[in-house]
């Protein structure tokens, strides 16, 4: 039996709890914006030591809501080139113009220099992405740079449930943060997202935007150009139940990362992306860089063909400025983004990964790397 790239973990107790919640929801008829949504919001805010949380239909919706709250229509928003399309897509749907920035290759995230180079006189917001669950040690410097310019910093924390830097949780470094609960995430609600913020004003705006722009749940008075961004009670129940496992899952994933780190430390040319001092990643992804000029497709194929280990889900194989749909927003060359996107792989990490599975991954990538390097 092989090792899949990802595995979604709901044990027997989790499944029983979800079934009981579903029975309760169907019996009461409260299918949206009910008690499970409130429980999910409160639990997620508490888990990240945040003041407010607003559950929505996706991480993309959470990010667009934050951008609409800031007011980016007709203005520029700085987005790192190493991120999922949805980061730039949310800017476009909110009426803004994405300005694509290069990244620091040590973190795959914006750095002070790359942010400075991308700022324009009409920058309305900056989106900082915590790629793979890693929070850059430059996060405070980036926030200070934004504060100096009077520009709100928004966190795309889609990967970063439970991650922290210097004891501060992801989602608490900017004006607001967007989290995703897509099935592959460390915690999932099936589909869903969350706005996290310290601002009561942002919280209130998010609640309005998620429910068709209505001023209140029971009224038919629309005060914003909102959308159907509600999270169903079924999804909220799944997310609430899964969230109880977050600390356990993160520790399990960090143990896998420790095994990988130890095994790859002595292998020349296969370089894990290091966890910077002060950062405690949830290891949503374990990223390693192949040598320059490597044939990544061949590496992945030989790892699977020879050992049954799937290396899927790069973050990301194509930087945003090379995405066809974002062609109109291509600016100057972004060499660091192009380099790291072209030659990294993500080793499988599961929240219930066994030692045998991680040992098989280590055997596979070590053997294939050494064989290809010798040719």
What does the pLDDT read at residue 52? 98
Same domain, 128 and 142: yes
In a domain, 4, yes or no: no
In a domain, 5, yes or no: no
Phi and psi for 176 in degrees, rounded to 5?
-165, 165
Residues 6+ apart with CB under 8 A from 301: none
Same domain, 261 and 184: no
Q: How far apart are CA 247 and CA 253, in angstroms?
A: 10
Alpha helices (H) along the chain: 12-28, 35-47, 59-70, 85-93, 112-118, 139-149, 200-210, 233-243, 246-264, 296-307, 335-343, 355-373
In a domain, 2, yes or no: no
| 374 pLDDT higher than 90 | no
| 312 pLDDT higher than 90 | no
Confidence class of residue 255 from pLDDT cuts 50, 70 and 90? very high
Across 51-60, average pLDDT: 98
What does the pLDDT read at residue 117? 97
| End-of-domain residue from the set 202, 222, 243 | 243
Q: How far apart are CA 169 and CA 147, in angstroms?
A: 20
Q: How far apart are CA 287 and CA 295, in angstroms?
A: 16
**Long-range Cβ contact pairs of 14-20 (< 8 A, separation 24 or more):** 14/241, 14/242, 14/245, 17/241, 18/237, 18/238, 18/241
| 219 pLDDT higher than 80 | no
What does the pLDDT read at residue 1? 73
Same domain, 335 and 187: no
Q: What total number of domains does the chain contain? A: 2
Confidence class of residue 217 from pLDDT cuts 50, 70 and 90? confident
What does the pLDDT read at residue 373? 84
Same domain, 76 and 202: yes
Q: Which of 290, 285, 288, 289 is nearest to 254 (CA)?
A: 285
Same domain, 225 and 116: yes
What does the pLDDT read at residue 215? 84
In a domain, 1, yes or no: no
What does the pLDDT read at residue 301? 96
Across 108-135, average pLDDT: 98
- For residues 17 and 313, the model is more confident at 17
What is the percent of the chain with per-residue pLDDT over 90, rounded to a whole number?
Answer: 94
pLDDT in tens, 315-336: 999 999 999 999 999 988 999 9
| 12 pLDDT higher than 80 | yes
> 345 is written with which tokens?
């792989």
| 37 pLDDT higher than 90 | yes
What does the pLDDT read at residue 50? 98
pLDDT in tens, 73-87: 999 999 999 999 999
Same domain, 314 and 215: no
| 216 pLDDT higher than 90 | no
Confidence class of residue 110 from pLDDT cuts 50, 70 and 90? very high
Q: Could you tell me the CATH number of the domain that includes residue 264?
A: 3.90.1150.10
Same domain, 238 and 265: no
The model's pTM is: 0.97
Across 342-360, average pLDDT: 97
In a domain, 139, yes or no: yes
Confidence class of residue 92 from pLDDT cuts 50, 70 and 90? very high
Same domain, 29 and 54: yes
Place of tokens 């990988």: 260
Mean confidence (pLDDT) of the chain: 96
> 278 is written with which tokens?
């002060």
Q: Could you tell me the CATH number of the domain that includes residue 44?
A: 3.40.640.10
Confidence class of residue 280 from pLDDT cuts 50, 70 and 90? very high
In a domain, 7, yes or no: no
In a domain, 48, yes or no: yes
pLDDT in tens, 151-202: 999 999 999 999 999 999 999 999 999 999 999 999 999 999 999 999 999 9
Q: What is the residue range of 197's domain?
A: 12-243
Across 289-295, average pLDDT: 95
């Amino acid at each position: 039996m092989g090792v899949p790239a990802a595995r979604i973990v709901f044990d027997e107790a989790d499944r029983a709890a979800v079934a009981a919640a579903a029975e309760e929801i169907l019996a009461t008829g409260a299918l949206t914006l009910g008690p499970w949504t409130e429980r999910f919001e409160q639990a997620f805010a508490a888990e990240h030591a945040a003041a407010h949380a607003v559950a929505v239909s996706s991480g993309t919706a959470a990010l667009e809501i934050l951008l609409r709250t800031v007011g980016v229509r007709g203005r520029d928003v700085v987005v790192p080139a190493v991120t999922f399309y949805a980061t730039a897509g949310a800017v476009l749907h909110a009426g803004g113009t994405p300005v694509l920035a290069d990244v620091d290759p040590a973190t795959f995230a914006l750095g002070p220099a790359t942010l400075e180079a991308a700022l324009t006189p009409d920058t309305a917001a900056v989106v900082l992405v915590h790629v793979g669950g890693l929070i850059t040690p430059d996060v405070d410097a980036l926030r200070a740079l934004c504060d100096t310019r009077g520009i709100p910093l928004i966190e795309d924390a889609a990967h970063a449930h439970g991650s922290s830097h210097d004891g501060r949780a992801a989602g608490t470094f900017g004006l607001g943060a967007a989290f995703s609960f897509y099935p592959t995430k460390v915690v999932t609600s099936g589909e869903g997202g969350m706005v996290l913020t310290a601002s009561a004003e942002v919280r209130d705006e998010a609640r309005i935007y998620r429910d068709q722009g209505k001023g209140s749940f029971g009224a038919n008075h629309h005060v914003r150009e909102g959308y159907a961004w509600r999270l169903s009670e079924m999804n909220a129940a799944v997310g609430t139940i899964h969230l109880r496992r977050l600390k356990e899952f993160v520790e399990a994933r960090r143990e896998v990362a420790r095994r990988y780190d130890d095994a790859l430390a002595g292998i020349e040319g296969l370089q894990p992306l290091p966890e910077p001092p002060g950062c405690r990643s949830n290891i949503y992804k374990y990223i390693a860089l192949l040598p320059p000029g490597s044939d990544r497709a061949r590496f992945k194929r030989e790892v699977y063909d020879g050992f049954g280990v799937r290396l899927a889900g790069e973050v990301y194989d194509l930087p945003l400025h090379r995405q066809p749909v974002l062609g109109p927003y291509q600016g100057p060359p972004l060499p660091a983004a192009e380099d790291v996107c072209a030659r990294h792989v993500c080793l499988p990490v599961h929240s219930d990964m066994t030692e045998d599975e991680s040992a098989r991954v280590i055997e596979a990538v070590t053997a294939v790397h050494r064989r290809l390097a010798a040719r």
